[in-house]
Structure 1
Amino acid sequence: MGQTAGVTVIVWIAVGSLAAWLWLLLGQGFFWRTDVRLPPGEEPPPDGWPDVCVVVPARDEAAVLGESLPSLLAQDYPGRAEVFLIDDGSTDGTGELARALGRRGAGPALTVASPGEPPAGWTGKLWAVRHGIALARARDPEYLLLTDADIAHAPDSLRRLVAAARGGGFDVVSQMARLRVRTPWERLVVPAFVYFFAQLYPFRRIGRRGGRTAAAAGGCVLLRAEAAERARIPDAIRHAVIDDVALARAVKGGGGHIWLGLADRVDSVRPYPRLGDLWRMVARSAYAQLRHNPLLLAGTVAGLALVYLAPPVTLAVGLADPAAGGAAAAVAGGAAWLVMAATYVPMLRYYRQPLWLAPLLPFTAFLYLLMTVDSAVLHYRGRGAAWKGRTYARPDALPEEG
């Protein structure tokens, strides 16, 4: 009797996982498709190319700046463009290297500045962004391009971003930069990172007017200056660790029209060669994504277990004991695993990775589950949301703005 009840539970878990995957396949904005790319725009815009200021916050980025900053200084943008690199207290010569690179550039002018240490209630990146936007506003640009110091842009990147924003009437046009995928751990973890992000924030829903889904990718955000002022960017999100999503929500909440998709010609040059590097990248913000809420953490762990871990487990259990309902568990679990792998294939193709990685997604999801739990543990030990020597408190622990 007890064994039969146990098998029944396994069957229901397998069926529940399969039902979840069928809903994800058809009812979650087709998140698994990778064809949401930069929309075409008119070139040149009917009333000429608008002025653009590029703001690059940088903290200890000398290792990657030599590859990323020259790509901004080589933009073939037909209008007026200027780059502001804001050195956020670097100790590795980031500012000096940026000035040296600026003297070699023949494209947009470069200004290197430093705002000093951020005051309480501000993340270092957003304090640097605030300083950069303040400098940019003196030029009265129509658009701001917020891009990270590890992002390399193709020569036509800025032109295509502006054309897409003008053509679609977008207040935000953001591209998810193609992350580096060279080492075995990067191949296993990085495509899944973007896949999970798209599952949380389906790109098709983000672009709908009036929809509630809002997100951006902080490595490449073209922002209309008027929309930034209306949404009080970055002051309104000054404490946000996941600042790109917070920015998109602030702009969309103010009636703005936003767009997010995958990039073809915008690439991250930051390496994550070891599992520890990738682990720190995820763990520093995973619990912040869950609003530092233990109930959300418990629900996330349970959801990851049901959706990603249950299919191979129920398949194995069902095959081990096909009698008394075990075969049904194996069929449902195997079908769920098959749907899961099939939805991962487009992302692997986008990253030009072998398709045999698709069945390994449950293992990768298990790693992300552990990273998420570790993020919560670090938070309660006072070491959560740590980045380059700074640790940020959760928003409700910060002093109110005077």
Structure 2
Amino acid sequence: MNALISSPVQVVPLVSLAAWLWLLLCHGFFWRTDVRLPPGAGGEPARWPSVTAVVPARDEAEVLPVSLPSLLGQEYPGRLEIVLVDDGSTDGTGALARELAAASGSGPRLTVLDPGPPEPGWTGKLWAVRCGIARARAEGGGPDFLLLTDADIAHSPGTLRALVAGAEAGGLDLVSQMARLRVVTAWERLIVPAFVYFFAKLYPFRRVNRPGARTAAAAGGCALVRTEAAVRARLPESIKDAVIDDVNLGRAVQRSGGRIWLGLAEGVTSVRPYTGLRPLWRMVSRSAYAQLRNNPLLLAGTVVGLALVYLVPPVWACAGSPVGGAAWLVMTLSYLPMLRYYRQPLWLAPLLPVTAALYTAMTVDSAVQHHRGRGAAWKGRTYG
């Protein structure tokens, strides 16, 4: 072991430490969790724009009783309508949505669509979004804004008001918030905060929000987009086959000249439960290889990079290397803000290498499933 530590291989933990210092100081401060609404000052608009919320839903009867009433109960001063698109559900999602709307009494009008199976070349979710947007724009020229939100997302009563006020104050075409995912079980505590941490590392929020930035992304669970910006970006037709629809949504709006903003949410939460490792594994693996453009070389580079950045520090630290220990310490400190955001015990931070090893295995499995013809599987559908 001492021979290992004193050998030229010691350069490996040095590289890892240098990588962590660069990530900490020069990578858009991705580890910070203070990017929140509102993105700019300016107060509330003199006239509240009209909004249509489009909710794609496929077999969501389990979560709809919690999520849909939160939309129906929005405290929004302007006109709000909701279009829920039943994407081939077999559990009574559409009928349940109508029952929930009737039980809510007064509130925004709810329309439930059943457009049938997606046309060739479309993912199911984006086909549902396309049908919902078409319905919204068919009446009176369409709303000023579209709220694209998933069926498992619950919103605090002031969510839409804050989103619109932020968009109007900042002159933004797309405002999206990363929903706070559910963290209850042991597996959720280990994997979920890291999921958001890794997403922010790929797409540092401060870089995304910088005018003229090359980095673009969005959070698909809660995205408010100006209708005219959606038309200009040809949404969702321009991204109809995208497995990672949220990132491609942000890119499409940015490339068409729109201004985008992405941050963490306070009152936007996912109510979908992940009761074990298997559903969490599917959540990550269904799109991990698509994130790498289904490229074996990018996969190999990613595996090597993950090992160098996340696995080398604890291994060398346990072998007695102070450099490895320093890299592990920097890694641990960078994870603390995300654990605080999720209100999780801070002793989980040193376990980030364990979580990274799981994510590496999920990414490799994503590639294996892709090459077996089972990639990007979601609720009975598989996309190449």
* Category of TM-score, reference length = shorter chain: over 0.9
Aligned partner of residue 128 in structure 1, secondary structure:
helix
* Residue 119 in structure 1 maps to residue 119 in structure 2: yes
Aligned partner of residue 359 in structure 1, secondary structure:
helix
Aligned match of 2:282 in 280, 283, 286?
Answer: 280
Q: CA deviation at 1:114?
A: 1.2
Aligned partner of residue 62 in structure 2, secondary structure:
helix
Aligned match of 1:221 in 220, 223, 247?
Answer: 223
Q: Which runs of 5+ in 2 are unaligned?
A: none
Instruction: Name the counterpart of 1:323.
Output: none
Q: CA deviation at 1:4?
A: 5.3
Aligned positions, number: 380
Does the aligned pair in 2 maintain the 1:41–1:165 contact within 8 Å?
no
Instruction: Name the counterpart of 2:354.
Output: 363
* Residue 331 in structure 1 maps to residue 322 in structure 2: yes
Give, in whole Å, the separation in 2 of the partners of 1:292 and 1:196.
19
Q: CA deviation at 1:41?
A: 5.2
Q: CA deviation at 1:273?
A: 1.4
TM-score (norm 2): 0.97
Aligned partner of residue 259 in structure 1, secondary structure:
strand
Instruction: Name the counterpart of 2:174.
Output: 172
RMSD: 1.3
Give, in whole Å, the separation in 1 of the partners of 2:297 and 2:212.
29
State which structure, 1 or 2, has the greater radius of gyration over its C-alpha atoms: 1
Does the aligned pair in 1 maintain the 2:130–2:237 contact within 8 Å?
yes
Q: CA deviation at 1:251?
A: 0.6
Instruction: Name the counterpart of 1:378.
Output: 369
Does the aligned pair in 2 maintain the 1:76–1:107 contact within 8 Å?
no
Aligned match of 1:262 in 261, 264, 281?
Answer: 264
Instruction: Name the counterpart of 2:380.
Output: 389
Q: Cα deviation per residue 1:20-76 (whole Å; 9 max; x = unaligned)?
A: 000000010000000000125545303x00000000000000000000000000001
Q: CA deviation at 1:9?
A: 3.9
Aligned partner of residue 63 in structure 1, secondary structure:
coil
Letter in structure 1 aligned against 2:75: D
Does the aligned pair in 2 maintain the 1:41–1:160 contact within 8 Å?
no
1:242-321 matches, within 5 Å, as: 242-317=244-319, 319=320
1:42-191 matches, within 5 Å, as: 42-46=42-46, 48-105=47-104, 106-139=106-139, 140-191=142-193
Q: Cα deviation per residue 1:310-362 (whole Å; 9 max; x = unaligned)?
A: 00111122x2xxxxxxxxxx111000000000000000000000000000000
Give, in whole Å, the separation in 2 of the partners of 1:176 and 1:44.
23
Q: CA deviation at 1:119?
A: 1.2
Does the aligned pair in 2 maintain the 1:53–1:141 contact within 8 Å?
yes
Give, in whole Å, the separation in 2 of the partners of 1:10 and 1:62.
55
Give, in whole Å, the separation in 1 of the partners of 2:7 and 2:306.
21
Give, in whole Å, the separation in 1 of the partners of 2:272 and 2:41.
30
Instruction: Name the counterpart of 1:397.
Output: none
Does the aligned pair in 1 maintain the 2:310–2:356 contact within 8 Å?
yes
Aligned match of 2:334 in 315, 330, 343?
Answer: 343
Give, in whole Å, the separation in 2 of the partners of 1:44 and 1:28.
33
Does the aligned pair in 2 maintain the 1:228–1:251 contact within 8 Å?
yes
1:34-45 matches, within 5 Å, as: 34-39=33-38, 42-45=42-45
Does the aligned pair in 2 maintain the 1:187–1:353 contact within 8 Å?
yes
Q: Cα deviation per residue 1:104-161 (whole Å; 9 max; x = unaligned)?
A: 2221110000111001110000000000000111232110000000000001111110
TM-score (norm 1): 0.93
Question: What is the percent sequence identity of the aligned residues?
Answer: 69
Letter in structure 1 aligned against 2:56: P
Letter in structure 2 aligned against 1:123: T
Give, in whole Å, the separation in 2 of the partners of 1:30 and 1:100.
45
Does the aligned pair in 1 maintain the 2:43–2:169 contact within 8 Å?
no
Give, in whole Å, the separation in 2 of the partners of 1:177 and 1:159.
16
Q: CA deviation at 1:10?
A: 3.1
Give, in whole Å, the separation in 2 of the partners of 1:75 and 1:361.
37
Q: Does 18-27 or 5-14 show the bigger shift?
A: 5-14
Aligned partner of residue 82 in structure 2, secondary structure:
strand
